[in-house]
Structure 1
Amino acid sequence: MRKVLLLTLLGFGTMAKAQIPQPDPDTTAKHFLIVASIKNLQEVSAGRQAAQKAMRPDVKMFGQMMEKDHGDAEQKLLALAKNLDMTLPSASTGGIQPDLELVNAGDKFDKLFVHGMVSGHGNTVQVFENYATVGKNPAVKAFAQEMLPKLKQHLAEIKAIEEKMK
């Protein structure tokens, strides 16, 4: 009797697992593209501010590079999303407001910008490395892999600027 009861319970456990829907891999890809788009737009916005407000020439040049490189990356990302027939929410593809801390930074702008860029790029590299390694969508995974060297270069450059400022 115990064996019959145990086998019955095991059978129900198997049926319950079969009824649980599996996650849609495109959800992960779409989430990655949304996060990447927001990060691109934040970098473009902060870079534009740095190009205008930075006191140090190296910070100003880094800001210009952010505006160009992340603007280009955003165009590639949007083309990829369109090719995959993924509609990204408008909140992640436009209308990013300038960082108020940077807007009101005054003579502390360079320091705040550099600190934010080091932190932001460190996080962005992790997000891209993760999807480049375990992502399910081959096209999105290829995009993450393509962008990683430039992101790592940005991180190395901003860390070098941070070291000079100490």
Structure 2
Amino acid sequence: MKHALMLSAAAAAALSLTACNKPASTTASDAASATGAAVNKAEDATGAAVGAASANTIGPHDTAAFVSNASQSDMYEIQAAQIAEKRSKNPDIKAFAKMMIKDHTASTKAMTPLVAAAGQKPADKLDDRRQGFIDHLNKASDADFDKTYVDQQVAAHTEALDLMNGYAKDGSDAGLKGGAAKIAPTVQTHLDKIKAMQAAISKS
């Protein structure tokens, strides 16, 4: 409920900002498109904040929450990368997306026996928050796609790094703690790369 209220508030704020800044010459269609993009961006920001809070509170201490979030993180990264490979015209982003598919498929494979040994089951689908990220990525205009993907990736990898480092430090299952510790440096590498791309895009 609290999440829904946050999303509603973010959406309302985005609608208000869009209305205030709309040029007089903007057509109804353009205005609707701009409003939708602003709302999606606001919802992505809210979703990122919710994920960051969870990664720093529940995930490091609750094994079931850690497994669910880690498995969904891999699923989201692979799905988002598949979209980026098809839609982005930026060779650096396409190369990053290819790396995401390879590395997150590998981390899922590495964690699978550890999850089973811990008596846990990975998530079988994305939650509403992460599915929202995918939906917004699919709806992004060609002009906004790269920035939308990169901004989502910075948030997602910040969340994943906090989750991995947190469980490696405070988790209760030794096998999963070891797995998280091994995966964290790869996530850090991804985060460093995507932050550099974000900075480059913001300057262009």
Give TM class, smaller chain: 0.7 to 0.9
Q: In the alignment, which of 127, 139, 152 is matched to residue 104 of structure 1?
A: 139
Q: Does 1:143 align with 2:160?
A: no
Q: In the alignment, which of 41, 49, 73 is matched to residue 75 of structure 2?
A: 41
- Give, as a single letter, the amino acid of the residue that structure 1 aligns with 2:145: F
Q: Which residue of 2 is the match for residue 56 of structure 1?
A: 90
Quote the Cα distance in structure 2 between the aligned partners of 1:32 and 1:130: 9
Structure showing greater radius of gyration is 1
Quote the Cα distance in structure 1 between the aligned partners of 2:86 and 2:123: 29
What is the root-mean-square deviation in Å for CA atoms of aligned residues? 2.0
- Give, as a single letter, the amino acid of the residue that structure 1 aligns with 2:164: F
Moved over 4 A (4+): none
Contact 2:72 2:123 (8 Å CA) reproduced:
no
Q: Does 1:71 align with 2:109?
A: no
Q: Which ranges in structure 1 are unaligned for 5 or more consecutive residues?
A: 1-26
Q: Which residue of 1 is the match for residue 121 of structure 2?
A: 87
Instruction: Please state whether the residue corresponding to 1:99 is helix, strand or coil.
Output: helix
Q: Which residue of 2 is the match for residue 158 of structure 1?
A: 194
Offset of 1:28 from its aligned partner?
A: 1.9
Q: Which moved more, 1:97-106 or 1:113-122?
A: 97-106
Contact 2:118 2:176 (8 Å CA) reproduced:
no
Contact 2:71 2:122 (8 Å CA) reproduced:
no
Q: Which moved more, 1:152-161 or 1:125-134?
A: 125-134
Offset of 1:110 from its aligned partner?
A: 0.5
Offset of 1:140 from its aligned partner?
A: 0.6
Offset of 1:91 from its aligned partner?
A: 3.4
Quote the Cα distance in structure 1 between the aligned partners of 2:170 and 2:195: 27
Instruction: Please state whether the residue corresponding to 2:89 is helix, strand or coil.
Output: coil
Instruction: Please state whether the residue corresponding to 2:62 is helix, strand or coil.
Output: helix
Quote the Cα distance in structure 2 between the aligned partners of 1:122 and 1:86: 24
Q: Which residue of 1 is the match for residue 25 of structure 2?
A: none
1:22-72 per-residue CA deviation (whole Å, 9 max, x = no partner) reads xxxxx8222211110001100000011111111111011111111111111
Q: Which residue of 2 is the match for residue 133 of structure 1?
A: 169
Offset of 1:155 from its aligned partner?
A: 0.2
Q: Which ranges in structure 2 are unaligned for 5 or more consecutive residues?
A: 1-60
- Give, as a single letter, the amino acid of the residue that structure 2 aligns with 1:77: M
